[in-house]
């Protein structure tokens, strides 16, 4: 029992001091003696339960586990770095939402859904933020680039996978032209509102409020 508690303490310290999510494989390297991954996962569950009534939560995101401050501490933490977070326009977040829900998509696909032309600066901001990337070309004349979200996007929005994105308010059809952009944007805002505060990435106060 003492050995198990020691392992748990080591995992806890590693997670609390890491500047990025740690996978089970990462955590297994903490121990000289081989530690079964199922044991590590069991201990992670115990740590998660231990912190339920404290100021932080242990969550799993796309690339591993990390601690995050609970949302009721957001306003206080923001005072430490009031000028740190970048501002994102409604257009940027709409494009991000469309890519997240309809990926992979081309620039033309995005413009068709939004009904307006797409600024290159909008895509550039999302690529620089590492929320989207070019994953290939569509096999049509001109071979336009295909855009999709990244693991960095999932990490920043505290998601393990795209399946955790909020459901759209109305079902999507197979045709992009029938997609309700407002529903996509509303669902994107739900993800934004549930976003976390961590040691590097917080932008919740600078993002558009939920659409009503």
Determine, yes or no, domain membership for 199: yes
Q: Is 170 helix (H, G, I), strand (E, B) or coil?
A: coil
Whether the predicted model's global pTM rises above the 0.75 cut: no
CATH of the domain at 51: 1.10.10.10
Structurally, the chain folds into a number of domains equal to 2
Determine, yes or no, domain membership for 106: yes
> How many CB atoms sit inside 10 A of residue 93's CB?
19
β-bridge mates for residue 56, sequence order: 69
State both tokens at 92.
């940027």
Considering the domain architecture, whether residues 110 and 53 belong to the same structural domain is answered as no
Asked if 61 and 191 count as a contact pair (C-beta separation under 8 A), the reply is: no
Q: How many helices (H) and strands (E) does the chain have?
A: 9, 4
Provide the domain limits for residue 33: 2-69
Asked if 108 and 144 count as a contact pair (C-beta separation under 8 A), the reply is: yes
Determine, yes or no, domain membership for 85: no
Considering the domain architecture, whether residues 134 and 200 belong to the same structural domain is answered as yes
**Which pLDDT tens digit goes with each residue over 5-48?**
999 999 999 999 999 999 999 999 999 887 889 999 999 999 99
Determine, yes or no, domain membership for 43: yes
CA dihedral 130, 191, 94, 124 (to 10 degrees): -10
Considering the domain architecture, whether residues 117 and 181 belong to the same structural domain is answered as yes
């Amino acid at each position: 029992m003492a050995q198990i508690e020691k392992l748990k303490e080591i995992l806890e310290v590693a997670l609390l001091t890491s500047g990025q999510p740690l996978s089970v494989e990462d955590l297994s390297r903490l121990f000289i003696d081989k530690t079964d991954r199922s044991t590590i996962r069991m201990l992670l569950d115990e740590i998660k339960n231990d912190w339920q009534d404290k100021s932080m939560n242990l969550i799993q995101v796309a690339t591993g586990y990390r601690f995050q401050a609970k949302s009721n501490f957001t306003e206080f933490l923001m005072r430490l770095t009031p000028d740190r977070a970048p501002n994102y326009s409604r257009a940027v977040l709409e494009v991000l939402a469309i890519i997240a829900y309809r990926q992979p998509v081309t620039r033309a696909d995005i413009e068709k859904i939004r009904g307006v032309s797409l600024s290159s600066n909008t895509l550039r901001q999302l690529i620089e933020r590492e929320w989207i990337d070019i994953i290939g070309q569509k096999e049509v004349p001109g071979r336009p680039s295909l855009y999709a979200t990244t693991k960095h996007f999932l990490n920043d929005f505290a998601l393990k996978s795209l399946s955790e994105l909020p459901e759209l308010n109305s079902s999507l059809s197979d045709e992009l032209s029938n997609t309700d952009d407002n529903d996509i944007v509303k669902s994107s805002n739900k993800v934004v509102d549930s976003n976390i505060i961590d040691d590097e990435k917080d932008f919740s106060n600078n993002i558009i409020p939920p659409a009503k």
